[in-house]
Structure 1
């Protein structure tokens, strides 16, 4: 398996201050280093 798919699951309860930067960094990794990356953000009832 030369290029396995990697899934990252991010819980995001009340994380509006940090989620944009986190996703931006993960996007850089996907674009520059690892093309087969899946990011799932789970938000459930933030206030």
Structure 2
């Protein structure tokens, strides 16, 4: 497979401090290396804003 489909699932319970940077880095990877990258952020009952 030259360009495999990749899904990344990120649990983000109370991760407000870190999630922006994480998603920014993943966006860079998607734009530069993996066009078929899917990112799913799961947040369930977090107290973040």
TM-score band, normalised by shorter chain: over 0.9
Aligned pair count reads 47
RMSD, aligned α-carbons = 0.7
Secondary structure in 2 matching 1:14:
coil
Spell out structure 1 runs of 4+ moving beyond 6 A: none
1:34 paired to 2:34: yes
Write the distance in 2 (CA, Å) between the matches of 1:32 and 1:2. Answer: 15
Return 1-10 or 36-45, whichever deviates more. Answer: 1-10
Deviation at 1:36, TM superposition (A): 0.6
TM-score by length of 1: 0.94
* Residue segments in structure 1 that go unaligned for 5+ positions in a row: none
